[in-house]
Chains A and B, each alone.
Chain A
Amino acid sequence: EVIVTQSPATLSVSPGERAILSCRASQTVNTIFGWYQQKPGQAPRLLIYETSARATGVPARFSGSRSGAEFTLTINDLQSEDFAVYYCQHYKAFGQGTKVEIK
Chain B
Amino acid sequence: QVHLLQSGAEVKKPGGSVKISCKTSGYSFSDFYMHWVRLAPGRGLEWVGWINPQIDDARYAPKFQGRVTITRDTSISTAYMEVNGLTSDDTAIYYCARVSGGVELCNRISCYEYDYWGQGTQVTVSS
Contacts and interface: CB of A to CB of B under 8 A. Distances in A.
Interface string A16-48: 000000000000000010101010000111100
A32 B112 contact: yes
Nearest to A35: B113
A43 B118 contact: yes
A4 B66 CA distance: 25
Interface of B: 37, 39, 44-47, 61, 95, 97, 100, 110, 112-115, 117-120
Interface centre among A43, A56, A96 (most CB of B within 10 A): A43
Interface of A: 32, 34, 36, 38, 43-46, 49-50, 55-56, 87, 89, 91-97
Contacts of B110: 32, 91
A89 B113 CA distance: 8
Q: Which secondary structure characterizes the binding site on chain B? A: strand
Nearest to A45: B117
17 contacts: A34-B112, A36-B114, A38-B39, A43-B117, A43-B118, A43-B120, A44-B45, A44-B95, A44-B97, A46-B100, A46-B113, A50-B113, A87-B45, A89-B113, A94-B44, A94-B45, A95-B44
A45 B112 CA distance: 14
A47 to B, nearest CB: 11
A46 B101 CA distance: 13
A91 B112 contact: yes
A45 B113 CA distance: 11
Nearest to B117: A43
A43 B45 contact: no
User: Which are the 7 A-B pairs with shortest beta-carbon distances?
Assistant: A43-B117, A92-B47, A94-B45, A49-B113, A34-B113, A96-B44, A91-B112
A96 B37 CA distance: 14
Contacts of A92: 47, 61, 112
Contacts of A95: 44
Nearest to A4: B44
